[in-house]
Structures are given as C-alpha cells and as structure tokens.
Amino acid sequence: MELTDSLQALFVHTAQSLQGSARRLFMARTVQELGPGGQRQAERELGWNRGTLRKGRHEWQSGFRCLDAFAARGRKRAEHHLPRLLADITAIVDSQSQTDPQFRTARLYTRVSAAAVRRQLIAQTGYTAEALPTVQTITSKLNALGYYPKKVAKSQPQKKSRKPTRSSSRYPRSTTPPMRQTRSCASR
C-alpha cells in the first residue's frame, strides 16, 4: 500500500496525540492494514520504532495490555548502590550533634559539615572516594535524616531585668548641676 503525504501526516499526528497502550494499538492496526512489510514501511516513512510496533502487535493479538514501568526507570538512589550508607552517616553524625539548646524545635544540629562527613566515611568505614556520592548528595541525605549542619549555639542565660529606657521610672534623672554663668575676661 502506498502512503500519500496526507496519510503520513494523519498517521503521525494521530500517533503523537495518543499515549501508552492506545498509541501502540493504533500503530499495530495501521501496520496490519499496510500489509506485508508494513513494519519496515512504517519505520521508514512514518518514523515509528519497530520495537514499539512489535509490542503493540503483541497487545493487539493477546488482548492483554502491557504496563509501562515509568517508576522503575531513571537513576537509582545512593542507598540502592550503598545499602549501609545511611547507617554509617548516622553513626558518624550522632556523636557530634545536639538538639536545639532552648528545646524550641526537634531538629538536631551538628558541628560537622557534609564534606567532613564524607572524609570520615572514607577514613573510618573504608568507602572509596569514587564510590561515595558527592558532598551535595551527602548534604541532602543529612537533611533527610533530620540533621542540620550548623554551628551549635550556646544557650545564653536570661537577663534578670530589662535595660531601663528614658521613659522608665527607674532611669536616673540627670544630676549635673546647672551651668554657672561666667564672665569673659575680654569684656573688662
């Protein structure tokens, strides 16, 4: 079957407007109507992937829909490659962290930076520098674990009283004597 330019545009536009299983079924039906050699013709003239066409034909013939595993794609987390990483970070940071001195929040503040944690992971636990994630990733892991790398502020004692102001009755009045009038020596 010969494909005209208008049919090619129609098929391509329709395939682009559909998604997932519906798109594959449309492509499989179109290839079926093209007849023998339809897969190669669709690949050459319509720009369709033959693997997608085979998957669509399988769905059409079997009646079962193949599920797309979009969640399984992409880069894995650092914990997937290094299963002990979070436990090792916790072991290093726990000894050097404290809660908010005034107990206003449940955050844990730590004195060590993410770069220092990375260096200690290499020195103490035997990780290699190439195997460990970057400092930025370790920072996000620290935040996810509830640690916030900041300088630990010492708690300041509360003052007994506030500093008196001019409008306060406790502020002493001016005790300087009035200025004496003096005569200048030039006028005599």
pLDDT by residue (tens digit) across 15-49? 888 888 899 999 999 998 888 888 888 888 888 88
Let me know: does 107 contact 99? Beta carbons within 8 Å: yes
pLDDT by residue (tens digit) across 144-186? 888 876 655 566 666 666 666 666 565 555 555 555 665 555 5
Round to whole Å and give the CA distance between 87 and 62.
47
Residue 161 per-residue DSSP state: S
Round to whole Å and give the CA distance between 97 and 148.
9
Strands (E), the chain: 97-99, 108-110, 147-149
Place of tokens 């970057």: 134
| pLDDT attached to residue 69 | 78
pTM: 0.47
Q: How far is CA 160 from CA 157, 163, 170, 176, in A?
A: 9, 10, 15, 29
Dihedral sign, Cα of residue 156, residue 158, residue 159, residue 162: positive
Tell me the CB-side half-sphere exposure of residue 161, using CA atoms within 13 A.
6
Ramachandran angles phi, psi of 97, nearest 5°: -130, 160
Least confident of 10-19, 96-105, 115-124, 141-150: 96-105
